[in-house]
Amino acid sequence: MSKIPVAVLGATGTVGQKFIVLLQNHPNFEIRELVASERSAGKGYAEVCSWKQNEFIPDSVRGMTVKSTDDPLESRILFSGLDSSVAGPIEENYASAGHIVISNSKNHRMDANVPLVIPEINHQHFDLTKKQPYKGAIITNSNCSTMFLAMVLAPIHLAFGVELVQVTTMQAITGAGYPGVPSIDILGNVVPYIGGEEDKLESEPQKILGTLQDDRILPAPFKISAQCNRVPVFDGHTETLSLKLKNKVGPAEVAKVLASFRGYPQEHHLPSAPEQPILVLTEPDRPQPARDVWKNGGMSALVGRIRECSVLDLKMVILGHNTVRGAAGAAVLNAETYIDLGYLEE
């Protein structure tokens, strides 16, 4: 089968670069076009990109001429790593022109007719694209911190019913993009504020875990209280989580449910899908970003220290790779699932 041509929007940014790394040898996709700002357009990619990945720029894109967001594109599927300050109307324009925009940006996540998808959890929500006013479609993945929280909440909520969530995040500096947080602010420090982050963490999981009914999403009924912090860690968002459950169970039962969780990507052996979307670690001091974040290529959520909570019912620590499963990798898996379900052919 010939590969599907794809474009990367915001190709010079941190998420755009990660898209290029993840797509360079993909069995189904071939990068055909790179799109960035007007100041980069018309130049070779290597000339305009301040490359920050831990491998060389792939030869296949090094000399590729960068296009602007005003240029027409040939690729059917567009992976968007555009900054949220510009992403909204650009993504709408491309969707109106017939492209399938798989977006990592926040702009359309909470739109009523746009699916906010983690395919292990809610691939049925892709049906919302049929109700969009575009020749193409817009599909979103969640905020990076939401990703790991929702992945862990989903099987617990399905099995036992979640009533209340309290979560505190310790988020890596790569979550702020490049150049990110000034060194004088983050070195030896914790910054207890990330603009807009707590709102996302308190609302996005309810849409993801909600029910598709009559062409709209009925949000999951539980409440979330979130506190978000930036910490001097390079990759990996750590979250401490406390839960109140409808059906009271012990840590061992929850650990078993999490470890056995599988979804559509695993059942259909999609290229980017980790064999285990959730890894339960039993060591008393894990997970740790420096030691665990790259397990399963950064595509799994990691959970440890599952134990009883003296205030609610259970508490635990979760971790995930913020620019892989929390960003570009999530969008690639969304595209794989969307195509595998046959939506591209409709």
Q: Supply 146's token pair.
A: 């939401």
Q: Supply 152's token pair.
A: 């862990």
Give pLDDT, residue 219: 97
CATH code for the structural domain at 144-321 = 3.30.360.10
For residue 193, give every residue at least 6 positions away whose Cβ sits within 8 Å of its Cβ, in sequence order, or none. 228, 229, 230
Q: Supply 179's token pair.
A: 């150049």
pLDDT in tens, 223-247: 999 999 999 999 999 999 999 999 9
Question: Are the C-beta atoms of 15 and 176 separated by less than 8 Å?
Answer: no
What values do phi and psi take at 200, rounded to 5? -65, -45
CA 279 to centroid of chain Cα atoms? 17
The overall average pLDDT reported for the chain is 96
Euclidean distance between CA atoms 58 and 318, whole angstroms? 33
pLDDT in tens, 297-341: 999 999 999 999 999 999 999 999 999 999 999 999 999 999 999
Would you list the domain boundaries of the chain?
Answer: 4-143+328-345, 144-321
Euclidean distance between CA atoms 258 and 14, whole angstroms? 31
Question: Annotated catalytic sites, by residue?
Answer: 144, 237
Give pLDDT, residue 92: 98
pLDDT in tens, 249-262: 999 999 999 999 99
pTM above 0.95, yes or no: yes
Give pLDDT, residue 345: 84
For residue 262, give every residue at least 6 positions away whose Cβ sits within 8 Å of its Cβ, in sequence order, or none. 120, 276, 277
Q: Supply 282's token pair.
A: 């039993």
Helices (H), 237-304: 251-259, 264-267, 289-292
Question: Are the C-beta atoms of 215 and 114 separated by less than 8 Å?
Answer: no
- The DSSP annotation for 202-234 comes to HHHHHHHTSEEETTEEE--S-EEEEEEEE-S-S
What average pLDDT does range 73-88 have in this prediction? 96
122 band by pLDDT with thresholds 50, 70 and 90? very high
Euclidean distance between CA atoms 117 and 141, whole angstroms? 5
Q: Is the pLDDT of residue 140 over 70?
A: yes
Q: Supply 96's token pair.
A: 């109106």
pLDDT in tens, 171-219: 999 999 888 899 999 999 999 999 999 999 999 999 999 999 988 999 9
In the CATH hierarchy, which top-level class contains the domain 4-143+328-345? alpha beta
Nearest to 34 by CA among 78, 94, 88: 78
Nearest to 259 by CA among 302, 202, 197: 302
Euclidean distance between CA atoms 214 and 112, whole angstroms? 12
Tokens 């898209």 belong to: 19
For residue 47, give every residue at least 6 positions away whose Cβ sits within 8 Å of its Cβ, in sequence order, or none. none
Nearest to 325 by CA among 128, 175, 182: 175
- The DSSP annotation for 299-328 comes to TSEEEEEEEE-SSSSEEEEEEE-TTIIIII
What average pLDDT does range 71-90 have in this prediction? 96
- Cis peptide before 58, with omega less than 30 degrees from 0? no
1 band by pLDDT with thresholds 50, 70 and 90? low
Tell me which amino acid residue 94 is: Y
In the chain, what percentage of residues exceed pLDDT 90?
96
For the chain, give the number of residues: 346
Neighbours of 100 (CB within 10 A): 24
pLDDT in tens, 123-134: 999 999 999 999
Reported as type and span, the H/E element at residue 48 is helix 45-48
52 band by pLDDT with thresholds 50, 70 and 90? very high
